[in-house]
Amino acid sequence: MHRLIGLVLCLLTIGVFATNGNLRSLAFDQLRSIAQPLFESGEATDPHFDAFYIGMVEKLPVQQRAERALELAINHYQGASTYVTQNAQLWRSEIEPSERLATLITTAINAPLIETRMAAFELHLAQYDLEKSITEVDRLKQRWLDDPEGTGPWAVWSIAALGARGIDREQIFNELLNATYEQNTNLRRWAVDALAIFGGTEIIDPLLEIAINDTSALVRERAFCGLAQSGTLQIAERYLAVPGLLGIVESNQTEQQTQLWAYQALREITNLYDIPDDPVSWRKQLQDIGLL
């Protein structure tokens, strides 16, 4: 508001002193000093989820509390993701799936910050009253086996979310890996997404293999997405996929669409967007910056 008032005053100043060259020049300099920041990039605020916001959300009913806290986490309020993660299991049986919560969870799962993604997983578990335990993993696996084409994808995804939160990672990794060999394409697709959610450097080689060899274009594309930007891999972990992705684009046996996906994954991982679709150029650049 102050900036807009200043802008108006500057415009008035320009009008009043339009006949005086020195004053007119000064007025324009003032105008630029006010207007230029309006067109710059960057964050407008540095918000914190402090005592004020904690007090605000804790006055809400639990369902709205969970939704509002996750919304603040999505909007980069520092501490909001931690608040959700610490409280989500306490909200089990008090929150339930809703259209608004589903939208927020989907948005948070695709947020840039890993802690926001983890908060989303916590609320996913809480809304379905899933406890973080090995027993819950076994129950979900049974639901998957009982109805692989119905609740199977949901169960696989939920098992991966438990693994991402540190529950029985060795067993869950093996289960998810086995699921990527299912004959059902839809279940394989969800198994690939689940691997990306599970995270950890152990998923990189399986995702690279799937990206090259799976018979479904959709499943292959999801594997590239898991390597490039979805799931819970840290940026430094994604760098480990770079040599494999380069090998894909360098191979004469790689079909064109698969090459295009590999190039896009390389761009998203490395943040190098001005290199052409040429393996020689990519190899040189990657060697120059130390990613090979």
Give the Cα separation of 23 and 52 in Å (integer).
Answer: 47
For residue 11, what are the CA distances in angstroms to 1, 20, 23, 25, 26? 15, 15, 13, 12, 12
| Confidence at residue 283, expressed as pLDDT on a 0 to 100 scale | 97
Full 3-state SS string of 97-134: CCHHHHHHHHHHHCCCCHHHHHHHHHHHHHHCCCCCCH
| Confidence at residue 13, expressed as pLDDT on a 0 to 100 scale | 43
Q: pLDDT by residue for the chain (292 residues), tens digit each?
A: 444 444 444 444 444 444 455 666 666 666 566 666 666 677 778 899 999 999 999 999 999 999 999 999 999 999 999 999 999 999 999 999 999 999 999 999 999 999 999 999 999 999 999 999 999 999 999 999 999 989 999 999 999 999 999 999 999 999 999 999 999 999 999 999 999 999 999 999 999 999 999 999 999 999 999 999 999 999 999 999 999 999 999 999 999 999 999 999 999 999 999 999 999 999 999 999 998 8
With beta carbons less than 8 A apart as the criterion, state whether 201 and 173 touch. Answer: no
**CA 204 from centre of chain:** 17
Q: Is 40 exposed, middle or buried (0-12, 13-18, 19+ CB in 10 A)?
A: exposed
Kindly tell me the sign of the dihedral angle through the C-alpha atoms of 80, 81, 85, 90. positive
The region, left, alpha or beta by phi > 0 then psi within -120 to 50, assigned to residue 95 is: beta
- Which DSSP symbol is given to 89? G
